[in-house]
Amino acid sequence: MPLNDELAETEGVDESTAGLDGLETPALVELLVEGQRGAVDAVLAQRDAIAAVVEEIARRLAHGGRLHYVGAGTSGRLATLDAAEMPPTFGTEPELVQAHIAGGVSALVRAIEGAEDDAIAGEAAARAFEPGDAVIGLSASGEAAYVVAAIATARARGAFTTAIVNGEPSALAAAAERMILLRTGAEALAGSTRLRAGTAQKIALNAISTAVMVRLGKIYDNLMVDVVATNRKLRARALRLVQAIAAVDAERAAALLDSANGSVKIAVVMSRRAVDATEAHRLLDEHSGRLRNLL
């Protein structure tokens, strides 16, 4: 099947995967997995662009702004996943990182017909964005009207806008202030951007949100010191963190965590600075929550 030069890059046909349906299952699985390797390379190629976006997002969040993701279909679901994981991983308020998906919550579990084409809904979603916010729009083709309209509206309102796309040119990249181009090309299954393009978008979102949290002092060394211990596994992790950073035994770590209402940071500062929980909290506030500055 010949490629159509008028198609978006992500809609093309990969000639190397011709005959996909005739492969034996092991070979089929190998081809599909092997096809994901390009996703990592596509993200790495945009390291500098991603770093610049991280710096600006961190600056805005440090001054009271919020981070919004806007997407449709696979992109919207990936964005929702990343946003949902911020509070338990980094102890953030749910409002700090939010996702907006075409078609609303229902679109998380089933496709909503025509949702990505609804520019009016995208514009309406963006009316909640403030000038100090940062907004990332995701669309493999860069043509999802919901996302384009949301980004254009957000930019007009003074928010910092970034487009994450998997090909160019695109309406989304033209609407945004910055572009992160994840050039993943044609998919193993033509047009199925839930494959390589989706993988690249998830890697990029993971890198952006984690790097932003590092810049905001939510991490000490390579440890999740703002983890919210909501289950047995995470409570055990919090205990290990206090033991390691404060250099105390398990019994002492448990007592510190109890006094610190479960906060690893407060527990560590209490031990390392020989202060009570109230003073530890004050010290952390004084240093913008950055544990390294106190140790």
Q: Which sequence positions are flagged as catalytic?
A: 85, 116
- In terms of Cβ atoms closer than 10 Å to its own Cβ (0-12, 13-18, 19+), residue 82 is buried
- The answer to whether the CB of 273 falls within 8 A of the CB of 294 is yes
- The answer to whether the CB of 137 falls within 8 A of the CB of 130 is no
What is the Rg, in whole angstroms, of the alpha carbon atoms belonging to the chain? 22
- Helices 37-44 and 47-62: crossing angle, nearest 10°? 70
Q: How far apart are CA 70 and CA 189, in angstroms?
A: 25
Q: In what side-by-side order are the strands of the sheet with 97-101? A: 97-101, 67-71, 134-139, 160-165, 178-181
